[in-house]
Amino acid sequence: MRIRGAVLDRPGVLPPYETTRPLDIVELELDPPRETEVLVRIEAAGICHSDLSVVDGNRERPLPMLLGHEAAGTVVEVGAAIRDLHAGQRVVAAFLPRCGDCAACHTEGRLPCSVGSRANGEGVLMEGGRRLHLGAESVSHHLGVSGFADYAVMDRRSLVPVGDDVPPDIAAVLGCAVLTGGGAVLNAGRPVAGQTVAVVGLGGVGMAALLVAASLDDITVIGIDANPDKVRLAHELGAHRALTPEQVGAEGLKADLVVECAGVVAAFELAVGITAPGGRTVTVGLPAPTAEARISPLGIVADAREIIGSYLGSAVPARDIPFYEGLWREGRLPLEKLITARIPLDDINRGLDALAHGDAVRQIIEFPEASA
């Protein structure tokens, strides 16, 4: 079938993206789903820093590639071997599929699935190969999703069903921002009553971490970002305090759990520096591969502090997405407040600029219903 999507065919493109236009909106051919795969009509897709890191060359991926990894939509067709999904059902894409059999899959989310990670790195689906074609050329899948298109074929293990009452934009952010940010707090950080949680870097993932922390009982939540607008938004989202890095330094702030979501060295160093004795620093940001940080090993040992890396929030999507869905339904997780803009696919390069400038928390690409 013919679909319309955003394809990157060259690495290391620099801003302004509205001028350099790294993502081309093109028509592609999409193969039908194989036995364990699902055809999904994409309804909403979020623009995330993990997309931007492929565009700017910080994450090397096989090109050309149809980008987009935070998405939700409706099942159109299922492969012959699938019995637990049906046409018309709303699903969330999880950008790290889990095979369920490898050693990493038996760590309760602490380690990313080795089979899924290998497929993601190669730009193929879990069963191997590509289902996207641009003329005679095959196009790689982005993290098993390729959600910047009106339709996608994904492996069943990349999808988690949600209720029909979950709007597409809310469903989309469940699959990346909330899984990653919320999981950094709950799965990796594991705060207990009476503690203070600080979140450094208030983009989509950081704000989701802040929202999840704020949903907990007897937890003091602090948001930290260099952007004054995001500091103000953090207050609106339930932070007890919201500060700039300069204000943090002036106060000598300390927190029991510090979650770093910015993906830059200065933010990581700040997060480690404000972690209280006996506390945990959880880092989910993805800096450039060449980035190096300076920390004091003595401070880690003498204060009995931990530094924890958490990919996808140490999540098991099939377990965690329904949990966050329940919090949203109960009114304890107002994810609508994460969404700062809704744009059409044709404006995606302008959306990359807003993301790179730090002007957006989460921009959602909306896809009008189209006939296959």
Query: Tens of pLDDT along the chain (372 residues)?
Result: 999 999 999 989 999 999 999 999 999 999 999 999 999 999 999 999 999 999 999 999 999 999 999 999 999 999 999 999 999 999 999 999 999 999 999 999 999 999 999 999 999 999 999 999 999 999 999 999 999 999 999 999 999 999 999 999 999 999 999 999 999 999 999 999 999 999 999 999 999 999 999 999 999 999 999 999 999 999 999 999 999 999 998 889 999 999 999 999 999 999 999 999 999 999 999 999 999 999 999 999 999 999 999 999 999 999 999 999 999 999 999 999 999 999 999 999 999 999 999 989 999 999 987 544
Q: Are 308 and 283 in contact (CB under 8 A)?
A: yes
Q: How far apart are CA 89 and CA 162, in angstroms?
A: 8
Q: What is the CATH number of domain 2-161+334-366?
A: 3.90.180.10
Instruction: Output the pLDDT for position 368.
Output: 86
Q: How far apart are CA 106 and CA 343, in angstroms?
A: 39
* Planar angle of CA 155, 108, 49, nearest 5 degrees: 60
Q: How far apart are CA 68 and CA 129, in angstroms?
A: 18
Instruction: Show the tokens assigned to 104.
Output: 């990493």
Instruction: Output the pLDDT for position 359.
Output: 87
Instruction: Output the pLDDT for position 5.
Output: 98
Residue 228 burial (C-beta neighbours within 10 Å; 0-12, 13-18, 19+)? exposed
Cis, peptide link before residue 297, omega less than 30° from 0: no
CA distances from 55 to 10, 51, 231 (A): 8, 7, 27
Nearest to 274 by CA among 252, 296, 307: 252
The reported pTM is 0.96
Pairing of strands 306-309, 275-283: parallel
Instruction: Output the pLDDT for position 369.
Output: 76
- Residues 178-311: name the CATH superfamily: NAD(P)-binding Rossmann-like Domain (3.40.50.720)
Structural domain boundaries in the chain: 2-161+334-366, 178-311
In this chain, the answer to whether the domains covering 2-161+334-366 and 178-311 adopt an identical fold is: no
